[in-house]
Amino acid sequence: MAKKRNKQRTRTEPGVVTIDPNSPNEWHKTPGTGAPFWNVSAIALWGERLRKRAKTWEHATFLRTDWEKQFAKWKEDHKEQEMSRVVVLNGALDETRLAQAKRAVALLPKDKSDLPNAQYKLDEAIAFALKCGWDPLADDLLVKDVIPELLAHKEQCAKLPWREPEHIQTNTLDNHRKNSKYCLEVFGEEKLSEINSPVRQKQVLADFEKNDRKLAPYFKKEALKSLGMLLRWLRKRDRLKTEVNVMAYQIRRTTTPKAMTLLEQQQFLDRIYYSRLAAAGYMRFYLGLRPYSELKESQLEEEYGLSCDCKTFMVPLDGKTGHRRVPVPPVATIVFKELLAQGRLYKKIHKEGFYIIEPGNPSSWTYLFGKCGYHVSMSAMTKACRKNCALH
């Protein structure tokens, strides 16, 4: 018995309107009601697929006539694009040919994503460049010319109310500034139309290490992170037409960090108890609270902080994890009551009676961790000592 072959579906050319079935005496039937209908379909010259269901033959022929008129008008308005249906550029994509490619691609019709329509054939070199992230519609600006705009935007975001989706904290803004310096040093002289490619990014990093200096893994990671943020910001504002594509760079740890032994835990608690960050340190240790996002002073009037009986901590609504209740272990409650008796527990008292804890700052925590025996750079310890913001 011969094997039944599936009937190959024939695709219509762009600009051709089809009616199925193509006869006023034949029609499809709607399931259930049995009402007749005709399917009218076409592929527009600009790449869009058009489909309509007509309930009468007259409506179907009207749609066909109307669409054919639209195609004829579009063809008349885009004569220059029709003449550039095939783009051929032989040889390597040097600066001259990239300029020619940009002019040629600009003449091609675009799809919904504002990219060259797939039905138009491109030279292999141009197709490869597009696949690797070359953006023919991007400005010929350098990365160093656009980063100041991004930082200015981030500064405005830091001034927004915390309820706004684009709001960022001041320490986040400081991190953006620091990472942008790494990005400027490595990618500052690169063009926006060419840097959106992992192949190009990897080559730039290799050339920098070959010609300038060796880069630390952290330096590479933060430079790429800042570059990705810049490209996504441009993409969101339609200044970049291709999807953002930044190479992944992971810092692999050779060893697993050890957990604190019981003796190390006791040494940490003893050292932190005699500091001005005793309450915040015990909350970090026993409750797992973040000092800068959950112990910080809230901008709202809702109740938050440590309860009067020292058995519950209410995280503020504008904290990183949102408003939530955290039970305090009995051993931490004993310590908090002792600190309260000594007058070292809270920074101030909320109008609802909750104790607001002093969260400290990065320099004071750095100095404290160094005193506890953790590895801290000498420059960070010196900076913390000069600020005089650590242990008494």
Asked whether residue 247 is assigned to any structural domain, the reply reads: no
The tally of domains found in the chain comes to: 4
How many CA atoms lie within 13 Å of 265's alpha carbon, on the beta-carbon side? 9
* ω into 21 cis (within 30 of 0): yes
> What residues make up the domain containing 230?
143-236
Residues 269 and 380 occupy one common structural domain = yes
Distance from CA of residue 120 to its chain's centroid? 32
Residues 118 and 200 occupy one common structural domain = no
Residues 167 and 206 occupy one common structural domain = yes
- Which residues does 266 contact at the CB level (< 8 Å), separation at least 6? none
Q: Token match 């910001």: residue?
A: 233
pLDDT at 192: 80
| Cα 34 from Cα 28, distance rounded (Å) | 9
Asked whether residue 241 is assigned to any structural domain, the reply reads: no
Parallel, antiparallel or unpaired: strands 312-315 and 121-122: unpaired
pLDDT at 385: 66
pLDDT at 287: 86
Q: What is the block-wise mean pLDDT of the chain (392 residues), using blocks of 10 residues?
A: 49 77 86 84 78 88 88 71 40 56 65 65 59 58 88 90 82 89 88 80 85 82 89 83 77 67 83 86 86 77 84 83 86 90 86 84 77 70 59 44
pLDDT at 122: 60
pLDDT at 112: 67
Parallel, antiparallel or unpaired: strands 121-122 and 86-87: parallel
- Provide the β-strand partners of residue 239: none
pLDDT at 392: 45
CA neighbor of 195 nearest in space, from 249, 139, 113, 117 = 139
Asked whether residue 138 is assigned to any structural domain, the reply reads: no
Asked whether residue 329 is assigned to any structural domain, the reply reads: yes
CA neighbor of 251 nearest in space, from 228, 226, 224, 230 = 224
Residues 342 and 294 occupy one common structural domain = yes
| Cα 167 from Cα 160, distance rounded (Å) | 5
Last residue of a domain, one of 60, 77, 94: 77
pLDDT at 151: 92
368 burial via Cβ count (<10 Å: 0-12, 13-18, 19+): buried
Q: What is the distance between the terminal CA atoms of the chain, rounded to a whole angstrom?
A: 95
Asked whether residue 54 is assigned to any structural domain, the reply reads: yes
Token pair belonging to 233 = 């910001």
Residues 281 and 372 occupy one common structural domain = yes
pLDDT at 84: 36
| Cα 387 from Cα 73, distance rounded (Å) | 73
pLDDT at 315: 86
